[in-house]
Chain A
Amino acid sequence: MSEEPIQTDVVIVGAGPVGLFAVFELGLVDLKCHVVDILPRAGGQCSELYPEKPIYDIPALPTVTGQELTDRLMEQIEPFGAEFHFNERVDQLERLDEGFRLTTDGGIVLDCKVVVIAAGGGSFTPKRPPLPGIEGYEGKSVFYSVKKIEDFRDKDVLIVGGGDSALDWSLNLQPVAKSLTLIHRRDQFRAAPDSVNKMFKLVENGDIKFELGQVTELHGDNGELTGVTVKAPDGNTFEQPANAMLPFFGLTMKLGPVADWGLNLEENLIPVDTEKFETSEPRIFAIGDINSYPGKLKLILSGFHEAALMAQKAHEYIYPDKKLTFQYTTSSTSLQKKLGVK
């Protein structure tokens, strides 16, 4: 599915507040950016974890929610026309002569001269229930997402969870599955009420089986699930046959493929210098929560500062012959042109 590689100056890995502000700082020094994020929207932890929670330590904004901050940053970087690739995780990084080729899990290929890792706490990945031996079933009979509905045809499908993913996939897989069982710890659901109603309709008709409980053990051989043990709310256990299971327990942050890019790491953080915020590899920068240096504080405002300094060095790599003169957006006509206010 990959076509011609996309050519750009900079690829930013992560569309959280710091990745977004990096678009601004790089834009002021004429660098074009593509931004890749595994989530379906911009904002990173701000929109995923606390969209409605106020943040009190953004300079000049006494209070702002995670979502408002994201929206304001998107507005601020709009003039620079960065391109976003959502629902994509950068899996591979190859070295080219003067730069890098990045490939996402969805097959997007990006060639760039500078990489900025602004991946925060890492990439959001589905939580793995701590059931003994679950690793051995993953990809064979335990899945955290549905790639093709057909894969579940004529299977005894077990879905665990009470959110939108659990409910949506119960409704969508029920028509193709041989049987579909939904297990949730209580009879209330976070999911959209409409999906919950539809699910209970199907339960009434005998098309979906709904059980209260929590899975405690997996049974099977060679990665092929045969069933699970479920603990019911009354403490009794029962066996539920299944040959495909989809657990939906939300997302957690894992460093992910960045760990395999050959960079020095310290306890899942990327050490950088404090002049340019460059990693052990020239032309690869790390800014925001994912980096470490003496005195590091994981604050959004620190990430903004790091983005500004990083952009100076990134410019030097991409335009080695052009000298950057330091300018203020308040007074510089050339910066104001870039911002579209002149």
Chain B
Amino acid sequence: MAKITFIEHSGREHTVEAELGQTVMEAAVQNSIPGIAAECGGACACATCHVYVQEPWREPTGTPEPMEEDMLDFAFDVRDESRLSCQITVTEELDGLVVKVPEKQF
């Protein structure tokens, strides 16, 4: 298991236990984190599970693949630390990960 903290736009924090191997989006949906819509169910096809990866987690979470980068074009207020949470797999290394949820997913 790995702990992941989601910070809502309002500043409210939710720390959840995620299973290794699942995606950060799945952990969010299982724990009903507000602001992660995940409309397409994890197919990297909707950009509604957009998060901002907080430091020092940008390096261990890696950079988006071209498909994810393309899909980020459909997200709003995209920043350097933007990722689609369905494309981040939970590993032991990510225990303690902190991500911010944007104000709106569209």
Evaluate contact between A252 and B77: CB separation under 8 angstroms. Answer: no
Measured between beta carbons, the chain A residues less than 8 angstroms from B74 are: 127, 249-250
CB of B106 within 8 A of CB of A163, answer: no
Q: Is the CB of A188 within 8 A of B78?
A: no
Contacts of A252 in B (CB 8 A): 39, 46, 48, 106
Tell me the smallest distance from the CB of A65 to a CB of chain B, in Å: 11
Size category, A interface: 20 to 34
Number of A-B contacts (CB under 8 A): 48
Give the Cβ gap from B91 to chain A, nearest Cβ, in Å. 23
Q: Give chain A residues whose Cβ lies under 8 Å from the Cβ of B45.
A: 48-50
Q: Which of B48-106 contact A (CB under 8 A)?
A: 48, 69-70, 72-74, 76-78, 103-104, 106
- The answer to whether A253 has its CB under 8 Å from any CB of chain B is yes
Q: Does A206 contact B (CB under 8 A)?
A: no
The smallest beta-carbon distance between B101 and chain A, in angstroms, is 13
Q: Given contacts A185-B78, A214-B77, is CB(A190)–CB(B43) below 8 Å?
A: no
* B47 in contact (CB, < 8 A): yes
A81 close to chain B: CB less than 8 A: no
Question: Quick one: which of A48, A250, A253 contacts B47, CB cutoff 8 A?
Answer: A250
Contact B43 A49 (CB under 8 A): yes
**Interface residue? A121 (CB, 8 A):** yes
Residues of the A chain whose Cβ atoms lie less than 8 Å from the Cβ of B77: 214, 216
Q: In this complex, which of B69, B70, B72, B78 has the most chain A Cβ atoms within 10 angstroms of its Cβ?
A: B70
- Would you call A53 and B43 a contact (CB within 8 A)? yes
In the complex, are the beta carbons of A121 and B106 less than 8 A apart? no
Residues of chain B with a CB closer than 8 A to A129's CB: 76, 106
Say whether A249 contacts B76, CB under 8 Å: yes
Task: For residue A169, give the distance in angstroms from its CB to the closest CB of chain B.
Answer: 15
Q: Is residue B1 within 8 Å, beta carbon to beta carbon, of the partner chain? A: no
A305 within 8 A of B: no
Q: Which residue of B lies closest to A131 (CB)?
A: B76
CB pair B106 A127 closer than 8 Å: yes
How distant is the Cα of A187 from the Cα of B46 in the complex, in angstroms? 21
Q: A113-141 CB contact bits vs B (8 Å, 1 = yes)? A: 00000000100000111100000000000
Of all chain A residues, which has the CB nearest B82?
Answer: A185
Subset of 22 A-B contacts with CB under 8 Å: A45-B40, A48-B45, A49-B40, A49-B45, A53-B43, A129-B76, A129-B106, A130-B76, A130-B106, A184-B73, A185-B73, A185-B78, A186-B69, A186-B73, A188-B69, A190-B70, A214-B77, A249-B73, A249-B106, A250-B46, A250-B47, A252-B46
Which positions in B face A, CB cutoff 8 Å? 39-40, 43, 45-48, 69-70, 72-74, 76-78, 103-104, 106
